[in-house]
Structure 1
């Protein structure tokens, strides 16, 4: 199991990242400050560090410099709200392996995580998720419903994967928004209802049930 260190001082963003990664089978350690992150990285072996730049005390740039100065070459994905060329350059020059500007979707973060910690020859044991006659292929990102194959957009794939990993559970609009569109979402948006309709068109009207006042669940 891959071990990831998340260094993020925002409780809301940290929870969004940690819960998402844990739901995909990663072991996650979280700390809100650079000092503790340096101690943790010295005491334990991590496969990846997700590092926010705007930390209290030792900021992300200083932590990254100290991390690399100690000889630690763990892959680092930098997160920042400071979306500028200077910060991008500073991150890479400081030793970061990847860079993401806030806000971001969990789907994009997960793709970058998988790219950074995958190893040649790695065996992927989970290739499909299924519920009744719905089978989602995690490699081709296509779905089969009642024996008919359908292509999925990136958002449709992420939403359906979320439902399949929580089959039988009622998922609120807020949970779906957070998982599929990221932490910086508009709770008043109807985008979830729109994409539920898209999935029903491909999977059947009864594939996803509306639970009034609560959300949706797989049929």
Structure 2
């Protein structure tokens, strides 16, 4: 489903990550590694936020499971980004916008609808403050918003960077339910980057991936 082609990412000529030709199938994956191991860098390059050498190709079924359509993050950037949703570890949003306005913007860009947006807002118990300016949000509230945005539309893959931080236990259970539902009903794949262990409720669904020695290596 997701293929890395001669992938290399460096910072000021310092090699951060290197992945030779490598593909992962549809599923839920845990990118497990210590801080500084390249987890966030990997997700940001997949999301099209950071530049890198090589290419990343998403083979989107697009209704054709026999011959899936290849979409390159370098050559079909807009199409690729519509199929890939990303939630950062520590999200930052324009403080003058409201949470509802952010949801509306993302939903329009990702092809979502009002019913979908309402489901995620209500189930994450954000209704009481969704109309407030983002400058009034706590870090936990911003994190919840970023998770809602990541589930909007019909993405082929959702990237969650450190989804376990700044989120309370009750909200984590809701997130785990979302992951299971999205994967089961829409066959959405997930890359979950975390140095913390996941709970048993979602762990059985995960196929592990480990960043080790600057290579992406399956466990």
Q: TM-score, normalised by structure 2?
A: 0.31
Name whichever structure is richer in strand by fraction.
2
Higher helix share: 1
Larger relative contact order (CA 8 Å, sep ≥ 6):
2
